[in-house]
Amino acid sequence: MGEKTSFQLGVVGALFLSVASSVSIVICNKALMSNLGFPFATTLTSWHLMVTFVTLHVALKFNLFENKPIDMKTVILFGILNGISIGFLNLSLGFNSIGFYQMTKLAIIPFTVLLETIFLKKQFSRNVKFSLLILLLGVGIASITDLQLNFVGTILSLLAIITTCIGQILTNTIQKRLNISSTQLLYQSAPFQAGILFVTGPLVDQFLTNKNVFAHKYSNVVLGFILLSCLIAVSVNFSTFLVIGKTSPVTYQVLGHLKTCLVLGFGYTLLHDPFTLRNIVGILVAIVGMGLYSYFCTHETKKKQPGDHSSISQGKEKDTSTPLLGGKDGYQDKENHESKKLSKDSLV
């Protein structure tokens, strides 16, 4: 009983850390991009990951966690995949309207459910699916304003959905299959995620903004906000891997939509963003969906796995011996997209 209580406290702590750090970095990045005119989201993410790796490396030197070697091919492919997914999300935002971009984010949950059902043989009850539907409906009402379709934007959105879902599923699967912690996986993969974004980030940002990140004039205030953003990102990246490892990719996405509702609320109360009856109704519907999801998941976990402390997810995951990433046994700071989306949506 003590071990189960400790695990549940760990999950609650991970969820709280994820929400607090994510909302904080969205507000910080929104100020950086909207008010201070620093629009280079992809490059900023590469700096986030670099600072995260350096921080974890210092922690390793002080023996705050133990490094566990992982097959290099698995780590490289995993890191590159996560880096590419961030690039696709930024490009999707650049080529699509805010409404279609938000639809892209909403599509991640059903696509994740589909992939886990097909490839991991995970079972989702009707109650859980119904609660997810209510949640997506609420977030859609609160955040989707317009839907403008174009071919290139649609392709980029599909690629963003696919790479994001696979990356988050692998974040959970690798930790469980290889029995490694979120810190160990993040430490191993962060350099590769940072590397691919450091190379491609300036190109993506210049393509989207017609500005050169290296030619930007960096005032002391801008540098201060960049440093603050990078420090908060350490907590964001760590909590992302922690939440996905302790729960599931779908639960992490549900948590992400809770952050969206909180950001809308904080934007109204702190930054005086426009807030309509539609926003309020949507957020309330989304909260009902989150409550139902939490209730059904907890109820079904107790019913089906009363003695299993290894999962607080919404179904029973049937582990297989399927190799990870190219035949070997074997997330990420995406909150920039929220702040960039809010900036583009002119909510300030």
Token pair 């190109």: residue: 203
- Predicted pLDDT of residue 4: 65
- Predicted pLDDT of residue 72: 92
Q: Rg of the chain over CA atoms, in angstroms?
A: 19
- Predicted pLDDT of residue 254: 87
Q: d(Cα 40, Cα 222) in Å, to the nearest integer? A: 12
List of the chain residues with pLDDT < 70: 1-4, 6-7, 145-147, 267-268, 270-273, 304-348
- Predicted pLDDT of residue 166: 95
- Predicted pLDDT of residue 270: 67
Instruction: Give the orientation angle of helix 151-178 with respect to helix 72-95, to 10 degrees.
Output: 150
Name every residue whose Cβ is closer than 8 Å to that of residue 190 and which is 6 or more positions away in sequence: 49, 50, 52, 53, 56, 79, 237
134-177 pLDDT, tens per residue? 999 998 888 776 667 788 889 999 999 999 999 999 999 999 99
Query: 40 with 209: CB under 8 angstroms?
Result: yes
